[in-house]
Amino acid sequence: MGSITLEKVSKSFGTTSVIPEIDLEINDGEFVVFVGPSGCGKSTLLRMIAGLEDLSGGRIIIDGKDMSNEAPAKRGLSMVFQSYALYPHMSVYQNIAFPLKMDGQEKSAIDKKVKDAAHTLNLTSYLDRRPGQLSGGQRQRVAIGRAIVRQPKAFLFDEPLSNLDAALRGNMRLEISDLHHQLKTTMIYVTHDQVEAMTMADKIVVLNAGRIEQVGSPLELYKSPRNVFVAGFIGSPRMNLVSGAAAEKHNATTLGVRPEHVQISKTEGAWKGTVGVTEHLGSDTFIHVDADGVGKITVRADGDFATEHGQSIYLTPDPNRLHRFDANGQAI
Amino acid sequence: MATLQTRATARIMMSPAVILLFLWMIVPLVMTLYFSFLRYNLLMPGTEEYVGFLNYRYFLTDPAFFTALGNTLLLVGGTLLITVIGGILLAIVLDQPFWGQGIVRLLVIAPFFVMPTVSALVWKNMLMHPVNGLFAWIARTFGFAPVDWFAQVPLFSIILIVAWQWLPFATLILLTALQSLDGEQIEAAEMDGAGPLSRFIYLVLPHLSRAITVVILIQTIFLLSVFAEILVTTNGGPGLQTTNIAYLIYSQALLQFDVGGASAGGIVAVILANIVAFFLIRLIGKNLER
């Protein structure tokens, strides 16, 4: 009860085309993440699905019904906004109850649903507070509560975690994933953070300049990126992209190798380089190496690996895990 | 110790302005208070003497006083009603994007820059005049008998004129408040299934409540002392129908030359204004704390 199909959906503001033409299939119960750099049109696409933005062309089909020109409320979707968009003069209870009240439901039914939602989200002791008296994470949960009481066909999240600090973001990520397993409702989640995308998604849609670059599961995108853009965007730290002689040796214009797929040795290897900055994370060490004739390479080494700035070092990329791209940036 | 020093310096630097302002306020007040206890009539110079609360007794037992009090409250209340409701509607209209928005906004704000006397004269002679007025012409065009505004509904006419002057102020304040409403909140409400009317009641009005409070407070202060419009149009008449407290005091002082009585009236007006302010702050002041 929550499949969404986009057919040749396009959007332009005046003469500038923001989204050329997009086809996308979102299955019922799927957690889909739209990810891309800022300005790639991912939020616009989400708002078009929500009905807050008109389509310039194409159709949006929700549960088999053409909803392209329906009002937002009629589409049966709920949205969590980046700024949470809580109603500041209403208490948490009233905020969560608002969509039900607008739906004209009975007081007792509303009360039960609000209490249930509050229980699910650990908000029970805050129901009388105003949004202004809550912390960022609590506000986030209220916004989610307001979304789930309507039992929508799908949830839309518009960068919901970007206003939270790093620790809280990690927690909320888990909570949202948990919620998805509990509710089994379709969720569409927009973010520019590829870590959020990788950790939460069933399916990632990588967008760039309004175009879909690749659609697939997190591991698919990680293992076989279709082009240079996806290769550079997915994975942390970023994939090393090498061009020039080193790449031509492998019959490619651009050669990609992930930091975790480079062997590092103090005695011998394919590429010789000098150690630059070293980042110790405890579990891992990220070593930024300036390789002669290759360029800057980031290497993920063991946490105990000891190096010094300026030290000579040898690198060997794992030959089975090289990504080769042609002159157009497409994978070979 | 720098803070102590700067604080002391700040006090010294501020004091001339504060002292001047204080004198500016206190000297007339004290003089009015002093005059209000004297028998002081300009027609009988040299006979000034202390008469205790006699002036107050006369002023407060004057039947004209209660009429004027009622008129003052009606004038304030009526004008507030028109300007707040009209201001909200106008602000919502002006908040919509349309062609020529800048010019229209400028025009809407224009009445605020017209002097009260001038606007009252324009209304009296060009709009509400029973023979030459625009309203009379419109009425005649449709075959109705023209309304003689200042004879038939004098107080309502004054309220209309004053409301016209203050509508731009209310519109301006409410428009800026409206523009600060978060667009995402409206979108969230849209997704929650709230129609335009629900959005207005549950989102826009609460958001505007603080601005409405400001409009009511500021306008009340000025509307309690409306004078020029009455002087220019009706001279408080017919009878006492458009006499408010301010006009009553004027007629005491400058038509009957009773400075003592007028001073007593002035003090009564100050006390009344404070009572109104007290209730206003009690009633809606809590809106400002949030």
**Distance from the A47 Cα atom to the nearest Cα atom in chain B, whole angstroms:** 10
What does chain A come to in residues?
A: 332
User: What is the pLDDT, as a whole number, of residue B83?
Assistant: 94
CATH number belonging to the domain at A4-226, selected among 2.40.160.20, 3.40.50.300, 3.40.50.800, 3.40.50.1100: 3.40.50.300
| Tens digits of residue pLDDT in B31-58 | 988 888 888 887 787 777 888 888 888 8
pLDDT, one tens digit per residue, over A148-167 is 888 888 889 988 888 888 88
Interface touch A72/B191, C-beta < 8 Å = yes
How many CB atoms are located within 10 Å of the residue A175 CB?
A: 17
| pLDDT beneath 50, residues of chain B | none
Structure tokens, A258: 């992930």
Q: Could you give phi then psi for residue A195, rounded to 5 degrees?
A: -65, -45
Residue type, A167: A
Contact, B194 vs A76, CB < 8 A? no
Q: Which residues in chain A are contacts of B202 at CB distance < 8 A?
A: 87, 90, 98
Per cent of chain B over pLDDT 90 is 14
Whether B47 and B268 have beta carbons less than 8 Å apart is answered as no
Contact criterion met (CB < 8 Å) for A99 and B182: no
Q: For A237-285, how does the pLDDT look when each residue is reduced to its tens digit (9 = 90+)?
A: 889 888 888 888 888 888 889 999 988 888 888 888 888 888 888 888 8
Q: Where are the domains of chain B?
A: 15-289
Tell me the domain boundaries of chain A.
Answer: 4-226, 237-325
Closest CA to B277 of B201, B209, B222, B227: B222
Cα–Cα distance list, B290 to A92, A131, B209, B214, B252 (Å): 17, 13, 11, 13, 44
- Residue to substitute from A52, A114, A163, interface B, most B β-carbons within 10 A: A52
Residue A90's H or E segment, with its range, is none
Backbone angles phi, psi at A20, to 5 degrees: -65, -70
Closest CA to B38 of B268, B259, B260, B266: B260
pTM for the predicted model, two decimal places? 0.77
pLDDT at position A75, please?
86
Which residue from A77, A82, A80, A115 is spatially nearest to A97, judged by alpha carbons?
A115
Tens digits of per-residue pLDDT, A99-118? 888 888 888 888 888 988 88
- CATH number for A237-325 (one of 3.40.190.80, 1.25.40.10, 3.40.50.300, 2.40.50.140): it is 2.40.50.140
Indicate whether this complex's ipTM tops 0.85.
no
The CA distances from residue A153 to A28, A110, A185, B131, in Å, are: 9, 19, 7, 67
Give the per-residue pLDDT at B102: 82
B254–A contact, CB cutoff 8 A: no
**Bond into A225 cis (ω within 30):** no
Contact B192 A82 (CB under 8 A): no
Our CA-based measurement puts residue B207 at a distance from the nearest CA of chain A, in whole angstroms, of 8
> What local confidence, expressed as pLDDT, does residue A169 receive?
86
Interface of B with A in 131-190 (CB under 8 A): 182, 184-185, 187-190
Cβ of B178: how many Cβ atoms within 10 Å? 18
Residues 33-52 of A with CB under 8 A from B: 50-52
Q: Which CATH superfamily is domain B15-289 in?
A: MetI-like (1.10.3720.10)
Residue A140 has pLDDT above 90, yes or no: no
Contact (CB<8Å) A150/B192:
yes
Burial label for A317, CB within 10 Å (0-12, 13-18, 19+), is: buried
pLDDT value of position B85: 94
Q: What single letter denotes the amino acid at residue A58? A: G
A4-226 against A237-325: fold identical? no
Mutate to test the interface with B, among A87, A101, A142 (most CBs of B within 10 A): A87
Of A77, A83, A90, the CB nearest to B184: A83
Task: Mutation target for B interface from A43, A53, A81: give the one with most B CBs within 10 A.
Answer: A81
Dist. CA A324–CA B233, nearest whole Å? 89
Please answer whether residues A190 and A42 qualify as being in contact, where contact means their C-beta atoms are separated by less than 8 angstroms: yes
Cβ pair A27, A78 in contact under 8 A: no
